[in-house]
Structure 1
């Protein structure tokens, strides 16, 4: 979803606006990844059932898996948070 966004109006490749927009896209994806990690972490803390294989090492690997999942979701535009941020701040990048 995010990769399909149109370039800044009137921008040509290699211009500072394109570099700023690339930084904006990267920051928006990173923000969405952190947001998703926080959300998954909150869901895990709810512990609605006992974990059969529960141990500190299992928890550590589950956290690593959740972080990877959050990064992948953000890169694919999972929740659309990054896309909304890009739309919001894209107007300021061209200035």
Structure 2
């Protein structure tokens, strides 16, 4: 039995959209990692002592930095994800 395809179904197009979404998610993930590393490098370059520094505050600061990086990427961040998508969208 041969499956029928109605005009509203296009299996090739749905796979392409899925690949485009995967590409977008991967690009945003890459940008989030980049932003996390950038924030970590800025924190490491402090010019003085932290008055309230301890292991607990360092752990929560890292979690906060990760959340900030994720929020930046979700709000178009630095534009790295957009550049990656535009570069790779024709190759998938």
TM-score (norm 2): 0.83
State the Cα distance separating 1:57 from its structure 2 match.
0.5
* Structure 1 residue runs without a partner (length 5+): 1-11
Alignment-derived partner of residue 59 in structure 1: 58
* Structure 2 residue runs without a partner (length 5+): 1-9
State the Cα distance separating 1:49 from its structure 2 match.
2.0
Provide the aligned length of Structure 1 versus Structure 2. 82
Alignment-derived partner of residue 37 in structure 1: 36
Alignment-derived partner of residue 46 in structure 1: 45
Alignment-derived partner of residue 69 in structure 1: 68
1: CA distance between counterparts of 2:15 and 2:51? Answer: 54
Secondary structure at 1:20 match in 2? helix
Alignment-derived partner of residue 15 in structure 1: 14
TM-score (norm 1): 0.80
Bigger Cα Rg: 2
